[in-house]
Structure 1
Amino acid sequence: MATGPGTAPPVAAAQSSLPREVYVLSVVGGCVMLGLGLVLPVLPVYAATFGAGPAQVGALVALFAVMRLATSPFCGRLGVRFGDRRVLVAGLLLCAVSSALTAFAGSYGQLLVFRGLGGVGSVLFSVSALATLLAIAPADRRGRAGAVFEAGFLLGGICGPALGGLLAHIALSAPFLAYTALLLAAAVLTLVVFRPGRTAGAESGREVVRLPVLLRDRRYLVACLAALAQGWVLFGLRSALVPAVVVAWRYDVTWVGWAFTVSAVVQALLIMPAGRVVDLAGRRPAMIAGTGVAAAAITALVFVESYVWLVVLLSVYAAGSALLNAAPAALIGDVVAGRAGSGVAVFSMCTDVGAAVGPVVVGIIAERVGFPAAFGSGAALLVVAFAASWTLTTARPTQRS
């Protein structure tokens, strides 16, 4: 059976159902995102009770991303040495300890330490979860497996903030304790369901692909570029600029939440069809469509001057983002042959780099040049990813065992 870098494996063999572990990973990811949604809106208010000002709150948020970046290079080696299942559970438990300690913190300094610990646990979980997904999902269904996985994150992210606000009325520490309970439940579920040795997506006879080899593979580079652009746009443009723009138009901050909620619902509705497109139409068409739609939407934001059009374009971006939640991960799975290693960790790092650097650079551009130029930075990255996606070509056929 022949496959190529920009294509999905043939459809004829793609009729088996997904392994149950894929759905369990989705539930686990949903618990993690639901918990994050519970605590993120409360975190600035909680920090303020220890005398933290805006700059200190910003440092608290940034530290989480910095610790993710600092830990990422070690995740691949840990997964190979100890097994992705163990690293995944360790990440969940570390996040649980971090959240529980945060609930009983006595100072801003303790908050910093505990939040940093959570960043370490977060990246251990996210890298090992993706590596596990690529190992257990059959090669011809990686797009759909990625979509199911992302669906859990999306639903958790949609529900979390509202529930966090309700719990905060009980006590500011309540969301952190609820997050701890969710993480412990997710860890237990992982231990009960997952068994070592389930590697339906790992090609027999293939060893772990080393990073120098991956960096010479066009598929890998294009997937990493798309991940960088996504991190930059989602956390730099959308999270940092959109609220400022909406408030500048004299809308209440509640309208920011509605804009994000509508776009999140659109993405949640489209994520499963997007996964099927990635498998049935192929990686290359999905990458081209995803980056193209996302780039067009962000480019159009440069010229928007009304709230309604802002919501429309954020929803259009969400449609492209649905494809970009499934296609790059499927490409990575094809390149690493479903096996863990540094390749998955570096791919995850690309999103984190965009998330950590994007807000700072975008903020500087917005202050010194203006909002249109800041939106343009994200559009430029997506356009580069769009152009790179066109270079994905069908390679010489290889025999699949």
Structure 2
Amino acid sequence: MRLLGRGDLPREVNVLAVIAFVVALGFGIVAPAIPLFARAFGVGTTAIGLAVSAFAFFRFVSAFSGGSLVERFGERAVLTAGLLVVAVTTGLAGLAGSFPVFLALRAAGGVGSAMFTVAALSLLLHVAPPTHRGRAAARWQGGFILGGIAGPAAGGLLAELSPRLPFFLYAGFLLVAGAVAVLMLGAAPKAEAEPAAGPDLSSGPVALRNALRSRAYIAALVANLGVGWVLFGVRNSLVPLYVVEELGRTIAWAGAGLLVGSLAQALGLLRSGRLVDGWGRRPSLLLGSALATGSVLVLVLPPAIGAFLLSMAVFGLAASLLASAPAALVGDISPARGGRVVAVFQMAADLGAIVGPLAAGWLTDVASYQWAFALSAAVLAAGLVAALALPRDTAVRTVAGHR
């Protein structure tokens, strides 16, 4: 058994980060093509929205079953199967001859995405020892961020050539990611995953009911709900409209703001993992939640382009901490095969991504953008309150059964 040095990470973490980059790159490429492809069937705007949300909805409702599959068959098998499901359904979606078929394939792809995400995060937290879990989560998230930045630009250009082309390319990327998983994760030894003093990885998964009794797990769930609500929901649905309608700027300014936030998050991820592992879970979660809450509250103030760009940058830094600290807490609680504990954690972010845009959009219609951003800040503040409730000694030594 090899002990890991301060800057060292298990090989599987780097492999998973590469897979995350490939998956996010492909998803970014296909995202701009989905509305155009759906419109080609002659459907209305509501149906187009359904084509976008079907993937996320079925990803959410199937995540718990994905966790059960992980506990039964193991992370590597479920991860590879999930990538294969998304690859096949995406390729077939590009060949769809009717909107109902296209919609059904998008929904089935959401099921495969849930399998992949839950299995990959469970494996990541499984192989990373407590002293390295923050850095492992940061590297994994960094793969998604870099792929997400590069993908949409290429996707828009490809969709101009043919709205079907991005689907085939995404399917190919997923097959490459699946091949990487089979070749580079299949024979990885588990002996290097934990130092001698760490928990026994041969033990079974932690029961969900036991995890739900933990203040650390509840804090991780609430924080992840806020991340999904703002980062994956409100930021993409409401911010572009806010820039055009409230700030009176072009949509290019919205893109600039989102890019500033993504770059700030990518830069923050270079250090956030070390903060989570060295400084501790509780202070890192407190800082991330406080920065996130404050950044969204800036948008409650009178509209100004400078304040908007500052808000996006600060939220990006906060998101780098919120990508590492909650995941590390989940790994501390369930260091063996995560399964349903990891699935519910992922479902919290997906729930926020589904409900956030709906609630914020409704508040914008009946009140104002400022009220919508105030509600979003309140959701993030709930994560701050949950972090304050954690014991002050919550740190890298936190493991299942120790509070």
TM-score by length of 2: 0.93
Partner of 1:265: 263
1:234 aligns with 2:231: yes
Structure 1 segments, 4+ long, off by >6 Å, are: 395-400
> The residue matched to 1:216 in structure 2 has which SS?
coil
Instruction: Give 1:198 deviation, angstroms.
Output: 2.3
Change (3 A) 1:191 1:284: same
1:244 aligns with 2:235: no
**Kept in 1: contact 2:234–2:353 (CA 8 A):** no
Superposed counterparts of 1:2-401, under 5 Å: 15=6, 17-195=8-186, 198=190, 200-201=193-194, 203-204=199-200, 206-248=203-245, 249-393=247-391, 394=393
**Kept in 2: contact 1:210–1:341 (CA 8 A):** no
Q: Which moved more, 1:338-347 or 1:107-116?
A: 338-347
Give CA deviations for 1:173-230 in whole Å, capped at 9, x if unaligned: 1111110110000000000011366261472164311011001000000000000111
Change (3 A) 1:118 1:283: same
Instruction: Give 1:301 deviation, angstroms.
Output: 1.0
Structure 1 residue identity aligned to 2:146: L
List gaps (5 residues or longer) in structure 1: 1-11
Identity of aligned residues (%): 40
**Kept in 1: contact 2:119–2:339 (CA 8 A):** no
Structure 2 residue identity aligned to 1:166: L
Instruction: Give 1:17 deviation, angstroms.
Output: 1.1
**Partners of 2:49 and 2:278 in 1: CA distance:** 43
Taking CA–CA contacts closer than 8 Å with sequence separation of 6 or more, which of the two structures ends up with the larger relative contact order?
A: 1
Instruction: Give 1:307 deviation, angstroms.
Output: 1.9
Partner of 1:4: none
**Kept in 2: contact 1:38–1:161 (CA 8 A):** yes
List gaps (5 residues or longer) in structure 2: none
**Partners of 2:4 and 2:89 in 1: CA distance:** 44
Instruction: Give 1:161 deviation, angstroms.
Output: 0.4
Structure 2 residue identity aligned to 1:198: K
Change (3 A) 1:44 1:353: same
TM-score by length of 1: 0.93
**Partners of 1:56 and 1:290 in 2: CA distance:** 37
**Kept in 2: contact 1:67–1:116 (CA 8 A):** yes
> The residue matched to 1:356 in structure 2 has which SS?
helix
**Kept in 1: contact 2:70–2:339 (CA 8 A):** yes
Instruction: Give 1:252 deviation, angstroms.
Output: 2.1
Change (3 A) 1:83 1:255: same
Give the aligned length.
389
- Structural RMSD (CA): 1.9
Change (3 A) 1:72 1:398: closer
**Partners of 2:317 and 2:47 in 1: CA distance:** 35
> The residue matched to 1:169 in structure 2 has which SS?
helix
**Partners of 2:30 and 2:126 in 1: CA distance:** 31
> The residue matched to 1:383 in structure 2 has which SS?
helix
Q: Which moved more, 1:385-394 or 1:141-150?
A: 385-394
